[in-house]
Amino acid sequence: MQEHIQELLQRFQYSEQLKETAVFRILFGGEDPTHVMVDLDIHNRYTLLNWVSLYRQKMQTGLLTLPAMTKTQKQDLQALKQRNTELEQALQQANLLILALNTMIEVAEKELKLPIRKTSGTKQC
């Protein structure tokens, strides 16, 4: 009985590599979540969509860093092209986040008259 329970628990535990692969295929590859789910043998659509949601939150807060490529991936031209695309998209997301944050600061300073940024020439105490 315990062996059966242990087998079920292991069956639904996914490696970080698999999670990352699934999320990248959906967010950066534009693949359909159902197709990714079937292809990677993920048993629950909610689980997959939760991974995507968590990844998007990390991207929005700037906490996301792309994992290092393996030696094999570095030698594979297709993997390099995909990595380049991923890095370009991550950079675009980071730039959008910076733009949004700067806009929020400007609005707060102008509309709400909140001094957020230091002005040049002020003395440090």
Domain identity same for 47 and 88: no
Q: Is residue 94 part of a domain?
A: yes
> What is the pLDDT confidence band of residue 34, given thresholds at 50, 70 and 90?
very high
pLDDT higher at 28 or 33? 33
Q: Residue 97 sits in which domain range?
A: 66-112
The least confident of 36-50, 56-70, 87-101 is 56-70
Q: Is residue 121 part of a domain?
A: no
Which residue stretches of the chain are H helix?
2-11, 16-27, 33-39, 45-61, 71-75, 77-111
pTM of the model: 0.47
Domain identity same for 54 and 100: no
Closest by CA to 85, choosing from 36, 25, 16, 34, is 25
Tokens found for residue 59: 């991207």
Domain identity same for 54 and 74: no
- Average pLDDT taken over every residue of the chain: 80
Domain identity same for 44 and 100: no
pLDDT higher at 8 or 42? 42
Q: Is residue 119 part of a domain?
A: no
Q: Is residue 123 part of a domain?
A: no
Q: Are 26 and 33 in contact (CB under 8 A)?
A: yes
Q: Are 45 and 37 in contact (CB under 8 A)?
A: yes
Q: Is residue 20's pLDDT more than 60?
A: yes
